[in-house]
Chain A
Amino acid sequence: MNLQVNILEDNSVQYFKVVGEIDAFTAPVLKERLATVQSVQGLKAQLDLSEVDYMDSTGLGVFVGFYKAVTANGGHVKITGLNRRLNRLFEITGLDEIIDIEMRESEDNDGTI
């Protein structure tokens, strides 16, 4: 069980690539990494979750907190690369109505057992 967060800056967009499992153990790591940029005014952040194998409410909680902080500072958060499972998690919790999310292309075979 592991989590990696890579940060890249490209044309003023902060791009986060999250790799691994997001649960009670790893969510604090993710939260800490995101906290380093969330108070930047007008931040444009993109979170790529295409290589997240597992996520539960602890991950959703971190993303909601990040979204709130960034939005409060006039920024924007976009979450991309969602597989069918992660997308469903955002849907059933109603968070897809609030946060800008995008499913991974060719989402028919996600093999994340």
Chain B
Amino acid sequence: MAQYDYIEIKIPAKAQYVGVARLMISGIASRLGFTYDDIEDLKIASSEAITNAVQHAYGDSEDGEIVVGCAMYEERLEIMIADHGASFDFEETKKHIGPYSTTSEERFQREGGLGLYLMETLMDEVKIHHEEGVTVLMTKYLGRERGEENVKRSANS
């Protein structure tokens, strides 16, 4: 099994906690040595996924939770965002993540629109699993050039 450190946070599905999870992701990305631009990309992409969950996962009267899990590998960061509330087994959940199914994509296009587009543009890989809630798995690799706008500016802490 691949070796990685894992950090997980569970937040209430409320808009005021999106920024809290974003701070955690920023810290983890900084720890891994991502560039300033990559850290900003990670903050936006993960906020988009969490915002989707906050706005669409639960009804107004429901008290739901969102789990944000970060697997820190040597050369990449995997972020999983799940809105079914219950804590999940990272490896087990990952097995069920597939490529886009038309239905989940349509759902996001309809409800997320720009958000999904940004996730796909800012991350290297995005996978969505839609069954008993939505799980988004997104990956960003360290030191991977992507377009001409990448700036070599280290954000090591």
B19 touches which of A21, A61, A93 (Cβ 8 Å): A21
Chain-B contact segment, one of A8-16, A39-47, A52-60: A52-60
The residue on A at minimum CB distance from B112 is: A57
8 further A-B contacts with Cβ under 8 Å, apart from A24-B50, A92-B118, A113-B26, are A23-B22, A24-B47, A24-B55, A25-B19, A113-B30, A113-B36, A113-B39, A113-B155
A1-B19, A24-B47 known; A60-B40 Cβ under 8 A: no
* A88 at interface by CB-CB < 8 Å: yes
Contact B121 A92 (CB under 8 A): yes
Q: How many A-B residue pairs have CB under 8 A?
A: 55
| Complex interface: chain A residues within 8 A of B121 (CB) | 92
Chain B residues touching A, majority SS? helix
Chain A, residue nearest B119 (CB): A57
Q: Which among B18, B40, B47, B54 is the interface contact of A85 at CB below 8 angstroms? A: B40
Contact flags B104-128 to A (C-beta < 8 A → 1, else 0):
0000000011110110010000000
CB-based contact A61/B114 at 8 Å: yes
The complex places the Cα of A57 from the Cα of B45 at a distance, in Å, of 10
Question: Across the interface, do A23 and B19 meet the contact criterion of CB distance under 8 Å?
Answer: yes
CA A92 to CA B37, docked complex, whole Å: 14
| Interface 1/0 per residue, B7-30 and A, CB below 8 Å | 000000001101100100010001
CB distance from B119 to the nearest CB of A (A): 9
Q: Which of B25-59 contact A (CB under 8 A)?
A: 26, 30, 36-37, 39-40, 43-44, 47-48, 50-51, 54-55
B145 interface hit (Cβ, 8 Å): no
Q: How far is the CB of A106 from chain B (nearest CB, A)?
A: 16
Are A56 and B118 in contact, CB atoms less than 8 angstroms apart?
Answer: yes
Bound Cα distance A88, B150 (Å): 11
Quick check: is B149 within 8 A (CB to CB) of the other chain?
yes
Contacts of B113 on A, CB cut-off 8 Å?
57
Measured between C-beta atoms, what is the minimum distance from B134 to chain A in Å?
16
